Amino acid sequence: MSGQYKTAWLCEALLVSRSGYYAWIKRRRFPGPRQLENMRLGERIREEFMRSRQTYGSPRLAQVLGCPSRRNRIARLMRLWSESLPDNAPSIVP
């Protein structure tokens, strides 16, 4: 959309600073270390969840993955993943 309208106009209409807009674009192109780790952890969560026949919740998954201190983070990633599933898929909210 920035090809059709000037970026400055769009930012002004949306009440966003131009520097904030460009920082957002950069974050989308090059994910940071935490986002990369979340992607890797999310993949491991999905694998273990499927291996458990979709019965493990976040406390058990945290224990199985060897990171019990990350239970809340695992629960958050499971919620994000379940929101992206089709409507007829089983729920995985811990």
Query: H/E/C letters for each residue in 2-25?
Result: CCCCCHHHHHHHCCCCHHHHHHHH
Hey, what amino acid is at 77? L
The mean pLDDT of the chain is: 87
Residue 41 is predicted with a pLDDT of 93
Span of 34-38, 79-83, 86-90 with lowest mean pLDDT = 86-90
- The string of pLDDT tens digits covering residues 30-39 is 988 999 999 9
Tell me which residue of 67, 94, 70 sits closest to 81, measured CA to CA.
Answer: 94
Does position 17 have pLDDT exceeding 80, yes or no? yes
- The pTM score is 0.66
